[in-house]
Structure 1
Amino acid sequence: MKIQRLKAAALALATVVLLTGCETMPQAGGSGGLNVLSSALGGGSGGGSRAGGVLDVIQGASAAFKDYTAEEQRALGNDFSSVLLGARPLLRNEAVQRYVNQVGWWVAAQAEKPKDKDGKEIQFAWRFGVIDSDAVNAYATPGGFVFVTVGLMRQLKSESELAGVLGHEIAHVTRGHYLAALKKGGFAQAVGGVVQARSGNAMVSSAMVNFAKNLYSKGLDQGDEFDADRQGVLYAARAGYAPVGLPTVLNMYATGSSADQNFTLLFKTHPAPKDRLEKLQPFMSSKFSTVASNVSNEARYDAIKRQLR
């Protein structure tokens, strides 16, 4: 029964992705904004990828990619996603899912593409989803699955804030943070078995799912979170959004009540919001002191937000 539920969740997410693929990314505000999504996916070196005056490209994704093929990463993503969707299902709202996929795909198109252990550029099969949970949080998996919760979306006030949050999670994938955690946990040599698990090696898959549960309950290294904050701001800015989106979200976290149970896991698995803001401030000052972009798309985000239960 559990396997059937997970398959149903995966099918629902795949349906969202297929539906989203037929759409284009709407224009962002009055500044010329975002290009057609299909064009963005065709290449990251065009004008859109330089949006907001961001000319510097930060290279050097984690060396952990050298231990995994793209196929292994996709298999890991499936297992990690089964943990998340097994706990809470996807929100049953096609318009909301489509919208988050559109924003996510556009931001992801601005990220660098690391290379796998064979030296091949990794083409992530990005999938975005909204989890039907009141908890305030966002998650990513190896291979390109990214999720935000309904609880978090209720707290956000603009599309630029959503773009910053998605950029942070995208960075966890492109920078190899989860893969590094796997290697640190002693799973690097066992990951090849994850692919074989699809044909019956349940022991390896079970061990990996247990590792994922533990990882999501404890969180990544603080250094990885700080790195994802910087990269998340960069990706969102390249996409044409106001770079203050993510810092605004972190400020919201900092002013939130630690007694609110919906924030409990977020605070447990991440550095203190004030520490994240302090670490991010020098980057903001050096990279975005003269950025002209102020695209936030508050009205468009509010229209989606009103559809959340």
Structure 2
Amino acid sequence: MKPRFLLVPALLAAGACSTNPVTGKKEIMLVSKGQELAMGQQSDPAVTAQFGLYPDQKIQNFINEKGKAMGAISHRPDLTYQFRVVDSPVINAFAIPGGYVYFTRGIMAHFNNEAQFAGVLGHEIGHVTARHSAKQQTNAIIGQVGLMGAMIASPKLAQFGEQASQGLQLLFLKFGRDDESQSDELGVQYSSKIGYDASQMADFFQTLQREQEKSGTPAIPDFLSTHPNPADRYNRVHELADQWKQQNGNPKNLKINRDQYLRLIDGIVYGEDPRQGFVENNTFYHPELKFRFPVPSGWKTQNTPQQFQMADPAGKALMMLTLAPGASLDEAAQALVKQFSLQPADSRRLTVGGFPALAFVADQVQQDPQTGQQVAGVRTQVYLIQDTKTIYALLGAAAPADFAGYQPVFSTTMDGFARLTDPDKLNRQPEHVRVKTLKLRSNLRQALVTNGVPESRLEEMAILNGMPLNEQVNAGSLIKMVGK
């Protein structure tokens, strides 16, 4: 979580029929080009606020340079494309309507050459040029980015969470098999046209597959979704790359640029950045903002630059910490009441961890779809805590029938908010990718061990390098490791 507060309203679409720029075919499209551009313009500030931009100008310049070159040879060269590297450890890339393309620092750290990056960049631009996001919006297949998303089982709680994340629905559009296959083809075409070896994109799928198997969780990036099998996709992209080469005279000068890319990302932050907050021993610590508070045991957590979220594993309650607008506690309370359509039942002044605070319980008023009457959909407990000019909002929410059982949990967390003074937590630093030059020929395992990588992290580093541990690496080669 970083000190930011931004919520952007979503744009509603109306009807039109248009020609697909890639296929040239007429198709029903309820989102016009103008609305598509407006959706991107309205959603982009919410995306960058949610994740934050990664503060490395040379990497931002790199993605801009390659992105602009690729946009110019795409099926929609008229779009003003925007490219961002966002500050997230998740291995992901995504695009939203209107030409906005985002890569996380997590995926940038896992590429091992420029050609891999270019292939994925072409894939994401392909989603834009083929209007896949606009098509999914037309079909109303929109993922909701709420407080903990799928972790929250209650529809009422999900509705509460949605209000805290308006404008971000477009992040998690699910593309079907045909759309993904088409974007793979466009990724090959576009990256090849600007001079890269597109077969490297297929090789990157193996890195993603290994990462998925290591973590034991479903792949997050849409280009490694469950639609096409990753192994089939690997073979298919290699075939597409070979076909493009044959159709274009088997060019010999297609670029890979491994060393150039590794030097570009040398020093990039790897994994979670504790400076933005971290959980340890059931406590959330924020070194930059210098506060801490307890996290309920067993609750799932998610930290973003915009807010820190906690969810009961049973799906019946949630909490979040965010920044509240306003110059005073009263102004902040009024803003939250309006934002979440709350009806406060009572409020009280108190001191929390030495900070002035305002606490109240309120119902979120919703309309019953059957009777049309106003009903309490969610009951909330809110603590507003002021640290000089900054006001933090801690919110707990549950259905009215469950609220009494969860209120002690909410209170324990909120009453536990305090100043962080522990030097160990205040000085916690992130890991960075460190690029090393090998002095002797060896296999990757030996090279990593020689450079001090512990046994428990060898497979992790092998995945980061896109190699098996037994692969031979020549003297003078560059490999990636991580360190403070």
TM-score by length of 2: 0.43
Which residue type is aligned with residue 196 of structure 2? Answer: Y
Deviation sequence 1:133-170 (CA, Å, 0-9, x none): 11001010110000101110111011111111110000
Q: Which residue of 1 aligns with 2:177?
A: 222
Opposite residue 268 of structure 2, the aligned amino acid is L
Task: Find the aligned partners of 1:133 and 1:97 in 2 and give their Cα distance.
Answer: 14
- Out of 258, 263, 268, the residue aligned to residue 308 of structure 1 is 268
**What is the match of residue 245 of structure 2?**
288
Counterpart of 1:219, as a letter, is K
Task: For 1:298 and 1:64, locate their aligned partners in 2 and report how far apart those are by CA, in whole Å.
Answer: 41
Q: Letter of the aligned partner of 1:275 in structure 2? A: D
Q: Using CA pairs below 8 Å that are at least 6 residues apart, which structure has the higher relative contact order?
A: 1
Residue aligned with 1:292, SS: coil
Return the match for 2:140 from 159, 173, 185.
Answer: 185
Q: What are structure 2's unaligned runs of at least 5 residues?
A: 8-20, 143-161, 270-484
> Residue in 2 aligned with 1:101?
64
Q: Which residue of 2 aligns with 1:75?
A: 38
3-state SS in 2 of match to 1:139: strand
From 67, 75, 78, the equivalent of 1:112 is: 75
Counterpart-to-counterpart distance in 1, 2:122 and 2:139: 24
1:1-309 matches, within 5 Å, as 5-6=5-6, 59-60=22-23, 63=26, 67-113=30-76, 123-185=78-140, 212-213=168-169, 216-217=171-172, 219-260=174-215, 264-266=219-221, 267=224, 271-289=228-246, 290-309=250-269
Query: If each structure's strand is expressed as a fraction of its own residues, which one has the higher value?
Result: 2
> C-alpha separation between the residues in 1 aligned to 2:102 and 2:175?
16
**Could you tell me how far 1:244 is from its partner in structure 2?**
1.4
Alpha-carbon separation, structure 2, partners of 1:107 and 1:303: 22
Relative to 1, partners in 2 of residues 1:254 and 1:135: Cα closer, same or farther, differing over 3 Å?
same
Distance 1:93 1:261, change over 3 A: farther
Say if 2:22 and 2:129, in contact at 8 Å, map to a contact too.
Answer: no
- Pair member with larger Rg: 2
- Say how many residue pairs are matched: 231
Q: Which is helix-richer, 1 or 2?
A: 1
In the alignment, residue 186 of structure 2 is paired with which amino acid?
Answer: Q
Q: What is the rounded CA distance, in whole Å, between the counterparts of 2:235 and 2:42 in structure 1?
A: 34
Deviation at 1:287, TM superposition (A): 2.5
Q: Find the aligned partners of 2:47 and 2:28 in 1 and give their Cα distance.
A: 23
CA distance in 1, matches of 2:228, 2:209: 11
- Cα offset for 1:94? 1.4
Deviation at 1:63, TM superposition (A): 4.5
For residue 61 of structure 1, report the CA deviation from its aligned partner.
Answer: 5.4
Corresponding letter in the other structure for 1:260 = S
Q: TM-score, normalised by structure 1?
A: 0.65
CA distance in 1, matches of 2:101, 2:236: 24
Amino acid at match of 2:130: R
Instruction: Tell me the CA shift for residue 221 of structure 1.
Output: 1.4
Kindly tell me: are residues 77 and 255 of structure 1, through their superposed partners in 2, closer, same or farther at Cα, counting changes over 3 Å? same
By how many angstroms is 1:291 displaced?
Answer: 3.8
- Amino acid of the residue matched to residue 73 of structure 2? Q
Paired with 1:273 and 1:132, the residues of 2 have a C-alpha distance of 26
Q: Compute the displacement of 1:91 (Å).
A: 0.5
CA distance in structure 2 between the partners assigned to 1:134 and 1:241 by the alignment: 26
Distance change (3 Å), C-alpha of 1:211 and 1:128: closer
Identify the residue that residue 30 of structure 1 maps to in structure 2.
none
Q: Structure 1: give runs of 5+ residues left out of the alignment.
A: 8-57, 114-121, 188-205
Q: Percent identity?
A: 23
Deviation at 1:84, TM superposition (A): 2.9
RMSD of Structure 2 on Structure 1 (CA): 3.3
Residue type of the partner of 1:293?
Answer: N
Runs of 4+ in 1 over 6 A off after TM superposition: none
8 Å Cα contact 1:241-1:296 kept in structure 2:
yes
CA contact (8 A) 1:133 1:151 kept: yes
Q: CA deviation at 1:288?
A: 2.3
Match of 1:17 in 2: none
**TM-fit CA distance, 1:69:** 4.0
